[in-house]
Each structure stands twice: as structure tokens, then as C-alpha cells.
Structure 1
Amino acid sequence: MATVGKPSFLPDRYDDVSHDRRYVGTRRSARSSLSLFAPIGIALGAVIVLVVGGMWFVDRSDDYLALDEAQLPVISGDVSDSADSDGAIEEPVVIEEEPVAEEVVPVEDPTVIDTEGLTLTILNGTATAGLAARANERLSVIGWPEATATNADSTDVKQSVVAYSEAADEAIALGIAQTLGVGADSVVQTSAYPGARITIVLGADYLDTAST
């Protein structure tokens, strides 16, 4: 009689096989507990390979995917209006940015530049006598060349003007305006005064320091 609780089999040729083998015909020994982690290990290995491969691909293709914004055209207007009556698509309009003008630094100290050939004219546009001569003294005392000081054609000039004709003299005109207390908005480039490179017209807004 077979032992209770244990399966019984008829004797066969597999009964003499060594029990050290893991697989014996249809009779198999119990699996090791480590074999349960084999699928997990394989899955983790596959994930690592995919991640590393993806990072390598992105690193290699980054230079090819980058776009240079400076080379992208700027298109203005409605896209629907870009086609003419014949159905042809017009070329996109590229808007060019205007260059930013560099700030001009006023020359306040005439000794730092070459003033040879620099001519100045000071015109008194008010009824105050000697105004142009005193303004000339304010400039010459710090090193500016002697100016031709005279009266303007009008004595009711409201706002003083410092005029220059050549763009290269803008910094000089700004420096002279600062010395005389004239605002930078009164410095203008014009060919209306051909008698000198810099022409100062003193108006009612000019502060005569000698009279204060």
C-alpha cells in the first residue's frame, strides 16, 4: 500500500537515475528561488540598454537639430494674403533691423583733442551787450580756440543753439554746449552757418555767469 500523502508511481527505468540532476524526464526538481528574478533582470537590462542608447542618440543628433535663429526669415502680414490673383505665392518679406546709433561722448576738455583748424563763431541773439564776448571768454579760458564774437541778425532769439556742420564735430559741439550750460537738445547739425565749424547762437535762455 502506498504511503499516505505521497504520490506513488510504478517502478520504471528512471528510478535509478541520480537525484543530483535537475531534470529527469517528466519528473523535475523544484526550481531555485533565484530563477524567479531572471525575467526581472532581463527586463532591467533591456531598459538600461534603451536608455543609454537614447541618450547617445540625442547627444549625437543635438548639433543637427539646432536651428540658427539669425537665419530664420521674419514674415510679416497674413499668410492668406501671400498669394496673388494667379495663385502664385509671393516671397516672404524680411524686415531688417535698423542699426543702433552709438552714443556720442561730449568733449569737455579741449586739451585732449587736436583743436588746430577748429573755428568758432559766437552770435549774440539778445539785447544784452557783450554777451558773446563773455561767452567766448568762458570757452577760451579752458583751452578752446578764440571765437569770432559778434551780434546776430536778431535780438529776440528765444533758445540758444550750438550748430555744427560735420558729423565729426558733434562731440565738440556737445562739449561746448555743456560748458556754456546749453542743453543737448539745442545741439544741431546744419549747414546754415558756413562761416565756422561750430557756431553758437546765444538766446534768451542763456545764463550769463558774468552778470550774476
Structure 2
Amino acid sequence: MASYPKDRFDELPDDVERIGAHRGPKRRGRGWIGFAWALLATGVLVFGGLFALSQYLDDDLGLPFFASPEEPVVTPEPTATVEPLTDPSTLDAARGITIDVLNGTPESGLQTTIFDDLTAAGWPTGSAAPASARDIEDTYIYYSNEADEDVAAGLAIALGRGEIRLVEADVFPGAEITIVIGTDYLAPAAEATEEPTE
């Protein structure tokens, strides 16, 4: 077997200290640090995913920290109701109110009957005529001046039906209040002619 001459690397003195990088013993508890970082990263990813999903679905997913703050409920202020003017004798003539009657039903002459009844009761009537449409279902009392709401409400009571509506003055020119009679005005007469069913 071949032999090689010894050199300075074959024999080293005992007092020579270690030189270079050497692994030291692991510190206790370092594994928990890595686990904590992994747990934190998982929590961030889960939270971010849930938040993105809640935004996409527009739903808080039942999680309180995703819920939008509730908007305060605004309670509308009650509108002042006008006292209906039911006695035409108390109506000030200076207000210059005239009442027209339009018949929106297929019953011929109904506008004249209602017009005569209102005139006899003392209401300031103007004219009566058939409406352009004869198949109107509901009765309406239109008024063009907000100050005349009390009279319109009183007419609804006098007719026993009808809904009051504020309209522009050019909708029914020449009359402050216009009554458009609908077929609901004929309902009581139709019911009276029906035979009772057993």
C-alpha cells in the first residue's frame, strides 16, 4: 500500500480552536415561533377571504364585524290634515270657487243629476258635461289651489266617495274644482238591484 509523506495537516496541535461556521445546539421553544407565524398567516388569509366573500355577496355572512352600521330610521313628520268644509253656506264667495262635474261613466246624464244635487245643496257649481273617457273606474275630486283642499274634501264627503287630488291649474282650466265621476259611483245602485243569494 502506498504511503504518503506527512504534512502539516496530518498533525494538529491540541490547543487550536475551531475556525469557521459550526452548528450550535437548537434553542428550546423555537418551533413554537414558526407555528405562531403560520397560525397568524392562516388567520389573515381566512379573514381576508371572508371579507372578500361578504363584499361580493353583499351579505355580512352572519358575522357581526362585517355587518354595516344600521342607518337611523327617519320618522316622517305627520302632514297636517285639513278640516273638510261640509257646509257650503260657510264657503266664502270671495274665494271665487266654481265646481265642474264630468261624467266618466257610461250612464248618460249622470253628470246633470249630480250637478243639480250639488247646486240644490248650495255648492257653487259651474258646468256639467260628459268626460272624454266613459270608462273611468274611480271618482276623483281635482283641485288646483292648495287652499281649496278643504272644499274638495267636503265634496268627497257630500258625494259619499271620491279621492281628492291636487293638479296644475291648466289641467282643468276655468274651474277651481272638478269632479270626475267614475263607475264606483254606480256601485250602490248596482248592488241594490241584485237579488240576494242563498
TM-score category, normalised to shorter length = 0.5 to 0.7
Provide the rounded CA distance (Å) in 1 between the counterparts of 2:115 and 2:189. 12
Q: SS where residue 102 of structure 2 aligns?
A: strand
Alignment counterpart, residue 171 of structure 1, candidates 150, 169, 174? 150
> How does the TM-score come out when normalised to structure 2?
0.53
Q: Do the aligned partners of 2:103 and 2:130 also contact (CA within 8 Å) in 1? A: yes
* 1:180 equivalenced with 2:169 (yes/no): no
Counting only pairs closer than 5 Å after superposition, residues 20-59 of structure 1 correspond to structure 2 as none
Give unmatched runs, 5+ long, in structure 1: 1-80, 82-93
Deviation at 1:144, TM superposition (A): 0.5
Provide the rounded CA distance (Å) in 2 between the counterparts of 1:168 and 1:208. 31
Counting only pairs closer than 5 Å after superposition, residues 1-212 of structure 1 correspond to structure 2 as 98-116=76-94, 117-183=96-162, 186-191=163-168, 192-207=171-186
Q: CA RMSD, aligned part only?
A: 3.1
Structure 1 residues 139 and 122: alpha-carbon distance in aligned structure 2, compared to 1, 3 A threshold: same
**One-letter amino acid of the counterpart of residue 166, structure 2:** Q
| Percentage identity across paired residues of the two chains | 36
Provide the rounded CA distance (Å) in 2 between the counterparts of 1:125 and 1:181. 17
Q: Do the aligned partners of 2:126 and 2:175 also contact (CA within 8 Å) in 1? A: no
> How does the TM-score come out when normalised to structure 1?
0.50
**One-letter amino acid of the counterpart of residue 100, structure 1:** P
Q: Do the aligned partners of 1:164 and 1:170 also contact (CA within 8 Å) in 2? A: yes
Aligned to 1:78: none
Deviation at 1:121, TM superposition (A): 0.9
Q: Do the aligned partners of 1:138 and 1:180 also contact (CA within 8 Å) in 2? A: no
Q: Runs of at least 4 residues of structure 1 off by over 6 A? A: 94-97, 208-212
User: After superposition, what is the alpha-carbon deviation per residue over 1:58-114, rounded to whole angstroms, capped at 9, x for unaligned?
Assistant: xxxxxxxxxxxxxxxxxxxxxxx9xxxxxxxxxxxx998654321211111011120
Q: SS where residue 200 of structure 1 aligns?
A: strand
Structure 1 residues 130 and 209: alpha-carbon distance in aligned structure 2, compared to 1, 3 A threshold: farther
Q: SS where residue 140 of structure 1 aligns?
A: helix
Provide the rounded CA distance (Å) in 1 between the counterparts of 2:133 and 2:178. 15
User: After superposition, what is the alpha-carbon deviation per residue over 1:105-159, rounded to whole angstroms, capped at 9, x for unaligned?
Assistant: 1111011120341111100111211111111112111111133100110111111
Provide the rounded CA distance (Å) in 1 between the counterparts of 2:188 and 2:113. 9
